[in-house]
Amino acid sequence: MKFFIDTANIDQIKEAHDLGILDGVTTNPSLMAKEGISGKESVFAHYKKICEIVDGDVSAEVISTDFDGMIREANELVKIHPRIVVKIPMIKDGVKAIKYLTGKGIKTNCTLVFSPGQAILAAKAGATYISPFLGRLDDISFDGMELIAQLRLIFDNYGFTTQILAASIRHPIHIIKCAEIGADVATCPLSSILALLNHPLTDIGLEKFLADHKASQKTEKVKV
């Protein structure tokens, strides 16, 4: 499973990259706003900065909701860097835009996917990725993980090459469950990635190894 980081924060992207496990980045307009990035020039410069840190795909979302606007934005976004993937919302014009951009060899990420029907449409249109938002489904008492499992089954039934990019991940168990089901990618906040490191037995075990090592050094000195 590929690991993407779900943020526009440069320090967090660098931290995940330095860990050596980062395969890409996803952003959205809310995440850009959270970093205080506004205005086309600043937004584009920020995407470029992100692309220069990571080796993998970087999703940049369109703001338009009509076909012509989405295509115009997509053509501008892909000029920023070869790693840019155009993020397109799951709406009627979005599906048409995905089909068109796929035909032009431009990578797309269909965002705001909440049902298997939406995912099938995006896959048939040729999306490179689809982003089912599992945390937001959990938030309204639907089982987000059940959607990931349905999509894995459907895509495997028909050999769709669209990658399932599990999004709206809230905690490390989401990541582990996605890996069990076979999501192609999990895009996660840095906190959820770092939480995977933790186990109390690791901490206790390490403390004991270091204490035993220290004690043995003292014994050596006494012998001398």
Does residue number 136 form part of the binding site for ligand E4P (CB under 6 A)? yes
How near is the Cβ of 124 to ligand E4P at its closest, in Å? 21
User: Catalytic positions, please?
Assistant: 87
Does residue number 7 form part of the binding site for ligand E4P (CB under 6 A)? no
Q: Residues 15, 191: contact at Cβ < 8 Å?
A: no
Alpha helix segments (H runs only) across the chain: 10-19, 29-34, 40-53, 67-77, 92-103, 116-124, 134-139, 144-158, 172-181, 190-195, 200-223
Does residue number 168 form part of the binding site for ligand E4P (CB under 6 A)? yes
Q: Which two tokens stand for residue 66?
A: 């009509």
Does residue number 118 form part of the binding site for ligand E4P (CB under 6 A)? no
Question: Which of 167, 175, 183, 186 is close enough to bind ligand E4P by CB under 6 A?
Answer: 167
> Coil, strand, or helix at residue 130?
strand
Q: Quick one: residue 182, left, alpha or beta (phi over 0 = left, psi -120 to 50 = alpha)?
A: left
Q: Give the per-residue contact string, 25-54, with ligand E4P (x = CB under 6 A; - = no).
A: -x-x--------------------------
Does residue number 131 form part of the binding site for ligand E4P (CB under 6 A)? yes
Q: Which two tokens stand for residue 142?
A: 């639907």
- Angstrom CA distances, 196 to 32, 62, 113, 172, 202, stand at 26, 32, 26, 6, 12
Number of residues located near ligand E4P, criterion CB under 6 A: 11
Where does this chain touch ligand E4P (CB under 6 A) — which range of 119-127, 133-141, 144-152, 155-163?
A: 133-141
Residues that bind ligand E4P (CB under 6 A): 6, 26, 28, 111, 131, 133, 135-136, 167-168, 187
